[in-house]
Amino acid sequence: MLRGYLSGPVQPVEIPIPMTATTAVVHLSNVRLEYGGRAVLRGINLSVAKGSMTAVLGPSGSGKSTLLAAITGELVPAQGQVEVFGQPVPRDARGLLAMRKRLGVLLQGNGLLTDLTVLENVALPLRAHSGLPAAEIQARALAKLEAVGLAAAADRFPRELSGGMARRAALARALALDPPLLLCDEPLTGLDPIASGVVMSLLRQLNQSLGLTCIVVSHHVRETLPVCDQAVVVANGGLAFDGTPEALQASQDPLLRQFLDGSPHGPIAFDDVTGQRAA
Ligand SMILES: Nc1ncnc2c1ncn2[C@@H]1O[C@H](COP(=O)(O)OP(=O)(O)OP(=O)(O)O)[C@@H](O)[C@H]1O
């Protein structure tokens, strides 16, 4: 007891609970990522809260996809620790597979199989991993298509879809196994502004209705920031910013301003060859 230090009744004090590895879905501490001994990112500390939507922004070649690769376990850090779902990312194949079943991944290229219908594409992960009967798989795949507004296109082939529809079909497939965490690498590439808006608001809607934690790597600052809770800027071999989208927009940091304003002049070199500087 701290007798003598306190006089009068003790007032309850609201102590903010810091986000730790146990409250974060993704947690990186002092992570260094390199290819063949060449550092791309170093000293990375990052926490992504459960149920949040995080934008990972930054110039081309700065290391955004490399950061995602560390989260999926494709790239083992040269230093530091990456934790997903409160556990270090497994190194063994069995542990990795178990973790990846809980990770939805949406890649730029969509990766839809051209010989299968949209419904069959969405059913694929369920066939491979769920062990459910065929009728249940069909029903769940259709429910995912409904969630992305594509139920009417279930029997179409990928070549019969617009770019935005194909991206939504790929999203339905990424969510087929109900993962608690979704990683999206450039979900807006190749989409016009209307389709981009549809995809981003759909992601936000899924994030809020399902409590899905989303990490979205994007070049599309204007479309991405308004629907996110956290913004991270990767530049010059590290994290140049980690905070709210509002704080990022208000920042007067020359590097961040150059990136946000899309200016060719400033601290970020055109075609930034980050790794060569991240010694
Ligand atoms: N498998 C690899 N082997 C060697 N170097 C790589 C590999 N993958 C990426 N790099 C290098 O790492 C750096 C970061 O690449 P990364 O793809 O992570 O950047 P990015 O920010 O996602 O770029 P973009 O926005 O253009 O997709 C680049 O210099 C790239 O050439």
Tens place of pLDDT for every residue, the chain, 279 residues? 333 333 344 444 444 444 544 579 999 999 999 999 999 999 999 999 999 999 999 988 999 999 999 999 999 999 999 999 999 999 999 999 999 999 999 987 788 999 999 999 999 999 998 889 999 999 999 999 998 899 999 999 999 999 889 999 999 999 999 999 999 999 988 888 888 888 899 899 999 998 999 999 998 898 899 999 999 999 999 999 999 999 999 999 998 998 888 877 777 765 544 444 444
DSSP state of 62: S
Pick from 65, 83, 101: nearest CA to 26: 83
Atom of ligand 1 nearest to the CA of 67: 18
Cα distances from 178 to residues 25, 140, 156, 182, 217, in angstroms, run 15, 10, 23, 10, 20
Pick from 248, 254, 184: nearest CA to 212: 184
Ligand 1 neighbours, Cβ below 6 Å, are 35, 40, 58, 60-66, 275
- Ligand 1, atom 1, lies closest to the CA of 35
- Ligand 1, atom 14, lies closest to the CA of 63
The Cβ of residue 234 has, within 10 Å, a number of other Cβ atoms equal to 28
- H-state helical runs in 187-279: 193-210, 221-224, 245-250, 254-261
Pick from 229, 170, 223, 225: nearest CA to 195: 223
Mutate which of 31, 35, 44, 239 to test ligand 1's pocket (most atoms within 8 Å of Cβ)?
35
Mapped onto helix, strand or coil, the DSSP state of residue 233 is: strand
